[in-house]
Amino acid sequence: MSAASAELPHGELPLIAEANRLMDRNPGYRVEIIGGQLLVTPPPDGPHAVVLTDLILPFAAAGLHGPESKVVQGIGLWLPMDAEDYAIPDLAVVDADVDDHLVENNCYDPVCFRLVLEVTSSNWRNDLKTKVTAYAAAMVPVYVIVDRKHQRLHVLTDPDCADYSTHRVHSPGETVTLPDSLGAEVTLDVAEILAAGRTKSAPGEG
């Protein structure tokens, strides 16, 4: 997702209150707090939404949207970094009892997250850097990034509280089988995913 960072002036509302105010005033925007900073994300473009739907299908076909786990979009993940930190990944695979792990502000304990997935947009550095640290700190077992900027699929595993020990980058032409820790075998075709997320030029642009 594209995003802009915004620091809250000292002495203003608590960050969570400010984040909720921004969401109320900007329907469709996503607001997160990572490292004590607000990240404000505009609504996604069409290809971003399409690739997310295309990704849900193999997870569901593998049985991950069932009695033991759920495939969800836009669910909040409470982060252990700063007091009010939370992220909202584009897609996640969570334990079916996720509702029992509500922490605060419609965000859930990372212990119930098996996988988080982000699809990049204009501010791709957040997904490739900032959120790598955040999700590793939360000990989310698998982080997948659909990198539309560089036309790559990243699969990060083995979090160690500061980073992921294993970071594999896959190119079109490859197929990727995700870790067994998800609870089922999921294989992704890198070329198909990246093609679904590719943005066409607007009329009059190149």
Model confidence over 95-152: pLDDT tens digits? 999 999 999 999 999 999 999 999 998 778 899 999 999 999 999 999 999 999 999 9
Name the residue among 131, 92, 136, 86 with its Cα closest to residue 106. Answer: 86
Mean pLDDT of the chain: 89
Model confidence over 64-74: pLDDT tens digits? 999 999 999 99
Decide: 144 and 181 in contact? Cβ < 8 Å: no
Looking at residue 178, its pLDDT comes to 98
**Rama region for 73: left / alpha / beta (φ>0; ψ in -120 to 50; rest):** beta
Model confidence over 12-62: pLDDT tens digits? 568 889 998 988 898 888 899 999 999 988 888 999 999 999 999 999 999
Report phi then psi at 6, rounded to 5.
-145, 125
3-state secondary structure of 110: helix
Model confidence over 156-187: pLDDT tens digits? 999 998 899 999 999 999 999 999 999 999 99
Q: In what order do the strands lie in the sheet containing 152-159?
A: 69-73, 91-95, 113-119, 142-147, 152-159, 164-170
Strand extents, DSSP E, the chain = 4-6, 30-34, 37-41, 69-73, 76-78, 86-87, 91-95, 102-104, 107-108, 113-119, 142-147, 152-159, 164-170, 175-177, 187-189
- Segment among 58-62, 66-70, 192-196, 197-201 with least mean pLDDT: 197-201
Q: What's the chain's Rg over C-alpha atoms?
A: 17
